Chains A and B, each alone.
Chain A
């Protein structure tokens, strides 16, 4: 008989540093006024690409090109608002329900960390200048105005299409695209800019609001916070 000690299963769940808690938070500003702070919901595409960011294997690309461009998760990051106020978020949601397809005027990416190494933040600040978005209010009839209220925000990132079967071994999921004189390499299969996170009044994340884009700027901050607890 082997002399390994026949101890019973030792199951210890020590809490310190044992969890990474992700507080993904959205903040909505009209002008300088913060009107809401709320958590968001993720899509399956974002969860899949996060797992790949941890587990995807090394890929050597040999495509007879002179230039290669690797595109990370933040490539093409953007945000949209929408006017849906009734549809709850689901993980398979690939776009906002009723999108106002106007891009932000500026996007700032920001990395933040605490000195004690227990909190890491990837922050995106999406800003629409006054005059960029239409006026959105109940009963609007004027040309260019939208009848309704702002009820949803979507953050779009470069993500995997999540078409893998559970149980795949040694994942190596990349997308290779020929783009003129360069070869683009993206993380994930059929990788594209997809809805990664949705903040919805229908989820009770915030109260839908009327917004006069002709006169007010709108800012949406999205924070992906990784806390070591």
Chain B
């Protein structure tokens, strides 16, 4: 056995997650590139990996359960800011145009060799939904942790639980496998970071924002 530590850190083994985006004006691709991440996104991911299980309910009282993960109330917004760079603890767009997309969906893809897994979150604002103005930032909002745990934390049990009464009178217990879950900025695409040139948007064509998360090794 070798006496000294055998340290083999090979690049070929390195997995990565990339966030990329595409912006379309109508059918025309306007820009594409990579997003910036906030700290709420990786925090929520590592909490899901280390958490074990959570039991809810009351003996002999029939109830329901609801599991909420990051796509719960997922959405996107455009914004006007063109000067503020992104930082990991940014909680919201700098100058948000608080108009929800008219349509949204999530699609999953994977490569035939099982070495690349990808999601696409697609958000579309129809022509006329967002009034004419300058657009300098986009944000992807997910149901994420507040990242309020203290490091290091052994044997974590970080959950968000709540309950509500359903239309049939039964209690619905809500479980999310990370602490203090709420709708938070997960990724930002910003002209101030040089991600794209500000858009002189006229509102005459649909605005389409596609966000891709790729996991590969």
Chain A positions within 8 Å of B, measured between CB atoms, are 2-5, 7, 9-25, 30, 34-42, 44, 47-48, 50-62, 64-77, 91-92, 108-114, 116-118, 120-124, 157, 162, 164, 166-171, 174, 182-183, 185, 187, 203-207, 209-210, 224, 226, 228
Total residues of chain B contacting the partner, CB 8 A: 103
Residue pair B35, A22 in contact (C-beta under 8 Å):
no
- The verdict on A58 contacting B52 (CB below 8 Å), with A17-B86, A168-B108 known, is no
B67, B151, B172: most-surrounded residue (chain A CB, <10 A): B67
Residues on the B chain within 8 Å of A117, using CB: 39, 88-89, 147
Residue of A nearest to B51 (CB): A72
Q: In whole Å, how far is B137's beta carbon from the nearest beta carbon of chain A? A: 13
Residue pair B39, A38 in contact (C-beta under 8 Å):
no
Residue pair A75, B52 in contact (C-beta under 8 Å):
yes
Residue pair B119, A51 in contact (C-beta under 8 Å):
yes
A62, A70, A210: most-surrounded residue (chain B CB, <10 A): A70
Residue pair A66, B57 in contact (C-beta under 8 Å):
yes
Residue pair B173, A68 in contact (C-beta under 8 Å):
yes
Residue pair A171, B106 in contact (C-beta under 8 Å):
yes
Residues on the A chain within 8 Å of B33, using CB: 10-14
Residue pair A20, B154 in contact (C-beta under 8 Å):
no
Q: In whole Å, how far is A160's beta carbon from the nearest beta carbon of chain B? A: 11
Residues on the B chain within 8 Å of A210, using CB: 1
Partner-contacting stretch, out of B75-83, B93-101, B195-203? B195-203
The 8 Å CB contact of B5, one of A35, A109, A203, is A35
Residue pair B16, A22 in contact (C-beta under 8 Å):
yes
Residues on the B chain within 8 Å of A164, using CB: 108, 110
Residue pair A59, B66 in contact (C-beta under 8 Å):
yes
Apart from A4-B205, A10-B33, list 8 A-B contacts with CB within 8 A: A3-B204, A35-B2, A39-B8, A42-B217, A50-B45, A120-B39, A166-B109, A169-B105
The reply on B131 being an interface residue by CB < 8 A is no
- The verdict on A122 contacting B50 (CB below 8 Å), with A39-B10, A57-B71, A164-B108 known, is yes
Residues on the A chain within 8 Å of B30, using CB: 7, 9-10
B1, B109, B213: most-surrounded residue (chain A CB, <10 A): B1
- The verdict on A55 contacting B19 (CB below 8 Å), with A66-B58, A168-B108, A207-B2 known, is no
Residue pair B117, A47 in contact (C-beta under 8 Å):
yes
CA distance A57 to B176 in the complex (A): 12
Residues on the A chain within 8 Å of B199, using CB: 5
Q: In whole Å, how far is A217's beta carbon from the nearest beta carbon of chain B? A: 15
Residue of A nearest to B177 (CB): A72
Residue of A nearest to B68 (CB): A58
Q: In whole Å, how far is B116's beta carbon from the nearest beta carbon of chain A? A: 8
Q: In whole Å, how far is A2's beta carbon from the nearest beta carbon of chain B? A: 4
The reply on B209 being an interface residue by CB < 8 A is no
Residues on the B chain within 8 Å of A3, using CB: 202, 204
Residue pair A108, B154 in contact (C-beta under 8 Å):
yes
CA distance A162 to B37 in the complex (A): 26
Residue pair A113, B194 in contact (C-beta under 8 Å):
no
Q: In whole Å, how far is B156's beta carbon from the nearest beta carbon of chain A? A: 5
Shortest 3 CB-CB contacts between residues of A and residues of B = A39-B13, A68-B65, A18-B34
CA distance A128 to B42 in the complex (A): 30
Residues on the A chain within 8 Å of B117, using CB: 47-48, 50-51
Q: In whole Å, how far is A144's beta carbon from the nearest beta carbon of chain B? A: 21
Residue of B nearest to A172 (CB): B71
Residues on the B chain within 8 Å of A112, using CB: 151-153
Residue pair A36, B204 in contact (C-beta under 8 Å):
no
The reply on B146 being an interface residue by CB < 8 A is no
Residue of A nearest to B86 (CB): A17
Interface residues of B in 61-75 (CB under 8 A from A): 61-72
